[in-house]
Amino acid sequence: MEFIQYFSEVFTPINLMILIFGTIGGLLLGATPGLSPTMAVALLIPFTFQMEPASSLIMLGAVYTSTVAGGAVSGILVNIPGAPANIATIMDGHPMARQGRAIEALHYCFISSLVGGVIGVLLLIFFTPPLAELALKFGPSELFWISIFGVTIIASLGGGSILKGLIAGGVGLWLSTIGYNPVLGEERFVFSEHLAGGIHVIAALIGLFAIPQVLSLVSSAGSPPGKGKLAELRSHSVLKSFSYNIRRVKALVTGTVVGSVIGIIPGAGGQIAGLVAYDQTRKMSKDPSAFGKGEPDGVIAAESANNAMVGPSLVPLLTLGIPGSPTAAVLLGGLLINGLFPGPDLFTVHGAVTWTFIDSLLVGQVFMMIFGLMIARYSVFVTRIPNHLMAAAVIVLAIFGTYSVQNSISDVVVMLVLGILMYYAARIGFSAAPLVLGLILGQLTETNFLQGRMIAGDEVWSYFLTGPINQIVIALCCLSIGYSIYNERKQIVKRRQEARA
Amino acid sequence: MNIMSRNRAGVLLGMALGLSMATSPALAEYPDRPISLTVAYGAGGATDFQARIVTMMSAKEDKKGNAVYLNGQPMVILNRPGAGGQVGWNRFVQRGKKDGYELAAYNVPHFIAQSIVFPGKVKYSVDNLEPIANWGADPAVLIVNKDSDFNSVQDVVDFARANPGKLTVSGAGLYVGHHIANLQFEKAAGIKTKYVPAGGGVKGMQFVLGGQTMAGFNNLSDAYRSRDRLKILGVADLQRSDFLPDVPTLKESGLEVDDSSVNFRGIMALKGTPDMALKVLAEKVPAMFNDKKVVKKMKAGGSPMRVLSREEVQAMWKERQAYLTELLKDLRKK
């Protein structure tokens, strides 16, 4: 219960101010496509040089928490996820916005983020030692199967046709192999100099989601605002959202559990947490067909998952120096620069700083929700922006966001080309989500397979197929595939019956 | 703004002339705008993290407002990660301007080894780059899990001899310091191991902590921080480290392994950069590295410093180039 005594540290005027500004800034940065949580935290590190250790960590922690949630804002309102972690959020978040329920969707997003986030941080506070042990058990073979599990979900994210989902996912997996082999360093599929560094996930994310959006905004530029974009925004009381949100126990629990578990696994990251939680919630729902058409449960599951991940991703970081997510990796730099070395010392010798930091994460979740709900109120202005101005603003953000990731004009070219291709692909029924996820999972699968293969040597089969975690995840993969086939058959039978009737 | 900077240049000019007649006026003019520093690794990694610290005092002014190091100009870090540094460094030599305003951070032996192993693909080498100064040196250490049966370098060698090709060793990547250390280790002990490039030093450490690999070569600084969960068996350097006085060098353990794998980090320019600029940088950059605040932050971050002058780095590069060409000659890819 040591953490309780340090709450007063969080509420000193200076720390409180840093926490509030960090949270608001993080929400805005997160809502900007291209400024992913990782980027935002990396950009802020130099500003912490002159700060007290506790204050600098409070700022980095606040930004980490709130950028993850902020990424949902642009996703829900304009169908452009702020970061890979928010892809699952837009599946139902944006359809809700189209029905004029944007404010409601944003309410669920921030309330669920709070629930997931707080539980995630509580896990960090109470279960760090056993969770750290668990984190170390995930080697290349385990991570390989987890990414395969992600692959089994891709196809069903297409919204409509499984076949188109599979094709898009396959193309995504292939795109991930462009550039250097992540382990052996050989170059593959580099047809143009622009592809020499491979396709960056953020460039693809922005291109595939933002550019088709811009093109369709332009094509409907003459029509009055609101038409073809978002229906007139309906206001929604926060209290009503609260009471509805809290009663969606199944979606909340699924999201939080999945997010926490995946957060602990070093290297899996938030993008998969949201995706898996979304998929599980849909599979367990009484009416899976409602998903993708504006089902609040989809938003609740995805957002509780990607914020639940934040706390547990710090477990291996704080105890072992192993970051659970790319953002946590940058946060490690923030710790080291303050002379805080991960390990047991962090909770004893440097306990004051560490516990203040962890407490600020808890308080930060509450601030994030409050400010998030305030932003939701003003989101009505976004819907009033005329289409041509919106298109211009999005294209500017897309180009700057992409360029800023690696200061590379090649990324911008890749982003634009992918985006234009996606615009036409979308017209024949393909969707962007399976493509981006293929790209993300492809890198994860390949790296871990190759490393596992090198470690295993002659014993490839036994290395990948034995061990309790491997077998559990393999079983999950089989269940996931089996369920998809069963469900698809059921749908076909149902359609036939309807056709006969 | 313009008048101010002209004034400042004037003051500096006067000071430079007043203090030393030998100092040319050009010294006061370069640099008159910010300098960019390409880091070929991602934001938050060890190289990026250290580069940000060692350049943070670049624009420092003393109490009277006079520039201390680089005319009050900041160094701006540009991250261009990819393929173990190849993307960033290739870009640097292909697109960079030779005006002294575009610099890059180097990692030795990484870039030299890459230029030897991938002669066609890699466009950079010691021949088209100019060292400015070195800020840090991090030797590779041989580590095993706390629960491992290995208690000495000899135990590891014995196991590898009895089980050829079975010993798994993790490291940050291919042709980086850890890989070079393992190649030297294999050669000196006459063994064959399975080297697993983990994709980052921290990941390599994780493989050892989690028991995914039996041993690993990793940065001394990172191993030192995790020393309560590891056994550090040997240091791939010529002398023992001040951080770990009880850990023998590999040489003391009877293996002919020198300091060729030590990870040197510093700043470089393109060949063809004006002599005037190189002269200013060679004089001011090491002083900037030795700034009290920089030294304090680096120490707090557990990053071992070794400031070397331009001449010393030139000699070090030359020596590494010769040695690595010999060591890697069988691995050359055409």
Average pLDDT score over chain A: 86
The confidence score (pLDDT) of residue A221 equals 63
ipTM over 0.95: no
**Cα–Cα nearest to A331, from B183, B234, B202, B81:** B202
Query: CB A310: neighbour CB atoms within 10 A?
Result: 33
The confidence score (pLDDT) of residue B33 equals 84
The confidence score (pLDDT) of residue A285 equals 85
In the three-class reduction of DSSP (H, G, I as helix; E, B as strand; rest coil), residue B145 is classed as strand
Reported as a single tens digit per residue, the pLDDT across A183-195 is 777 778 888 878 8
Residue B40 tokens read as: 């070929």
- Residue spans of the domains in chain A: they are 2-460
A196 vs B87, B213, B303: nearest CB? B87
A457 vs B56, B194, B197: nearest CB? B194
Q: What are phi and psi of B103, to 5 degrees?
A: -120, 170
- Residue spans of the domains in chain B: they are 31-138+262-331, 140-236
The confidence score (pLDDT) of residue A356 equals 93
In 3-state terms chain B splits into helix, strand, coil percentages (rounded to 5) of 40, 20, 40
- Write out chain A residues lying below 8 Å of B210, CB-based: 136-139
**Given CB atoms, is A37 within the 8 Å cutoff of chain B?**
no
The confidence score (pLDDT) of residue A269 equals 64
The confidence score (pLDDT) of residue A228 equals 47
Our CA-based measurement puts residue A143 at a distance from the nearest CA of chain B, in whole angstroms, of 12
A–B CB contacts, 8 A cutoff, strictly below: 130
CATH architecture for segment(s) B140-236: 3-Layer(aba) Sandwich (3.40)
**Interchain contact, B44 vs A39, CB within 8 Å:** no
**Interchain contact, B194 vs A323, CB within 8 Å:** no
**Given CB atoms, is B15 within the 8 Å cutoff of chain A?**
no
Contacts of A394 (CB under 8 A, 6+ apart): A33, A78, A80, A210, A213, A214, A217
Terminal-residue alpha carbon distance, chain A: 64
Angle of CA points B39, B41, B42, to nearest 5°: 110
- Closest residue in B to A136 (Cα–Cα): B210
Angle of CA points B308, B85, B56, to nearest 5°: 50
Per-residue pLDDT tens, chain B, 334 aa: give them.
Answer: 344 444 444 444 444 444 444 444 444 578 888 898 999 887 667 788 889 889 988 888 888 888 888 888 888 888 777 777 887 898 899 888 899 999 999 999 999 999 998 888 889 999 999 999 999 999 999 999 999 999 999 999 999 999 999 999 999 888 889 999 999 999 999 999 999 988 778 888 889 999 999 999 999 888 888 888 899 999 999 999 888 899 999 999 999 999 999 999 999 999 999 999 999 999 999 999 999 989 988 887 778 899 999 999 999 999 999 999 998 887 766 5
The confidence score (pLDDT) of residue A160 equals 65
Measure the CA–CA gap between B112 and B326, rounded to whole angstroms: 12
Reported as a single tens digit per residue, the pLDDT across A98-118 is 888 889 999 999 999 999 999
- Write out chain B residues lying below 8 Å of A184, CB-based: 174, 197
Query: CB B35: neighbour CB atoms within 10 A?
Result: 23
Average pLDDT estimate for A389-399:
88
The confidence score (pLDDT) of residue B106 equals 96
- Write out chain B residues lying below 8 Å of A457, CB-based: 165-166, 168, 194
The confidence score (pLDDT) of residue B5 equals 45
The confidence score (pLDDT) of residue B118 equals 87
Terminal-residue alpha carbon distance, chain B: 53
The confidence score (pLDDT) of residue B18 equals 43
Residue B300 tokens read as: 């707090």
Yes or no: is domain B31-138+262-331 CATH 3.30.70.260? no
Window A:194-223, CB contacts with B under 8 Å: 196-198
Would the pLDDT of A141 be above 60? Answer: yes
In the three-class reduction of DSSP (H, G, I as helix; E, B as strand; rest coil), residue B255 is classed as coil
Residue A224 tokens read as: 């009055």
- Closest residue in B to A137 (Cα–Cα): B210
**Interchain contact, A185 vs B205, CB within 8 Å:** no
**Given CB atoms, is B22 within the 8 Å cutoff of chain A?**
no
Task: Look up residue B18 and give its amino acid.
Answer: G
Provide the CA A405 distance to its chain's centre, in angstroms: 17
- Specify whether the CB–CB gap between A71 and A206 falls below 8 A: no
Beta strands in B21-74 (DSSP E): 35-39
- Closest residue in A to B166 (Cα–Cα): A457
Residue A423 burial class via C-beta count within 10 angstroms: exposed 0-12, middle 13-18, buried 19 and up = middle
Would the pLDDT of A426 be above 50? Answer: yes
In the three-class reduction of DSSP (H, G, I as helix; E, B as strand; rest coil), residue B94 is classed as helix
The confidence score (pLDDT) of residue A474 equals 95
Our CA-based measurement puts residue A42 at a distance from the nearest CA of chain B, in whole angstroms, of 6
Query: CB A4: neighbour CB atoms within 10 A?
Result: 10
A185 vs B84, B207, B210: nearest CB? B84
**Given CB atoms, is B206 within the 8 Å cutoff of chain A?**
yes
Query: CB A479: neighbour CB atoms within 10 A?
Result: 13
Q: Where does the pLDDT of residue A231 fall: very low under 50, low under 70, confident under 90, or very high at 90 and above?
A: low
**Interchain contact, B300 vs A339, CB within 8 Å:** yes
Our CA-based measurement puts residue A282 at a distance from the nearest CA of chain B, in whole angstroms, of 34
Q: Where does the pLDDT of residue A133 fall: very low under 50, low under 70, confident under 90, or very high at 90 and above?
A: confident
Please provide the DSSP assignment of A396-434 as one string.
HHHHHHHHHHHT-HHHHHHHHHHHHHHHHHHHTT--HHH
Our CA-based measurement puts residue A475 at a distance from the nearest CA of chain B, in whole angstroms, of 22
Task: Look up residue B36 and give its amino acid.
Answer: S
